[in-house]
Amino acid sequence: MFYPMKIVPGIVLLIIAIISTSLFAANPEVTTEKELEGKNVAFLITEGFHDAETMFPLGFLQNAGAQITVIGVEPGTYKAYNSNVTAVVERSVNDVTPADFDALVIPGGHSPANLREHPAVVNFVREFIQSNKPVASICHGPQVVIATGIVQGRTLTAVGGIQNEITEAGAVYVDKEVMIDGNLITSRTPPDIPAFSLAIKELMRN
């Protein structure tokens, strides 16, 4: 059984309101229907995750009907690097498989640099990419995708600071708010979150 991220309820409501307002303003065609009902999405984080890059997409996908499970190296409570927001990692990557989920989201912050140091995490992400299910990463999140060693020839975007890491891995770097290459969805920084969130939902619907 999967459980939603445990954070302060008031923050959840604020996050959902902000992301919904942004999305409706920029995309009048967005509906409030539970288009992702029955879908399971994993959010992969550890200590030092970016609060907005985690909470905004999570709230948006949850509003669309998706069931969210927060996974990581070990269950426990972890803090964002850029605020006092905390999140509960409910399950270890050792206790789940890509078959349990319909999509994987990897937020940015300092978390990805920590996650990529764990072989079990890298193996999980590699298997997820190979499953051809959506794998979405934003800002520094693509660092974990790169660590899988299977991005040669793929086209990614990310925060500019890891452009060299992307190209050194044999991938093509582009500077745009959201890049979709097959089942890989990537975005750059927090201003791209609305486009990033929509891209995840749309790819999950296909």
What CATH number should be reported for the domain holding residue 112? 3.40.50.880
Catalytic residue chosen out of the listed positions 19, 125, 139, 147: 139
pLDDT at 25: 52
DSSP state of 109: B
Instruction: Give how many domains the chain has, as a whole number.
Output: 1
Residue 74 lies in a domain: yes
Residue 130, H or E segment: helix 119-130
pLDDT at 3: 36
pTM score, whole prediction: 0.88
Q: Tally Cβ neighbours within 10 Å of residue 102.
A: 17
Residue 1 lies in a domain: no
* Tens-digit pLDDT profile for residues 55-83: 999 999 999 999 999 999 999 999 999 99
Q: Give the residues of the chain that fall short of pLDDT 50.
A: 1-13, 15-17, 20-21, 24, 28
Residue 159 lies in a domain: yes
Chain centre distance of CA 97: 16
Residue 123 lies in a domain: yes
pLDDT at 23: 53
Residue 4 lies in a domain: no
Residue 3 lies in a domain: no
β-strand partners of 49: 109
Residue 182 annotated in active site: no
| Domain containing residue 63 | 9-205
Distances in Å between the Cα of 168 and the Cα atoms of 26, 84, 112, 154 are: 35, 34, 17, 12
Residue 134 tokens, joined: 């959506």
Residue 145 lies in a domain: yes
Residue 2 lies in a domain: no
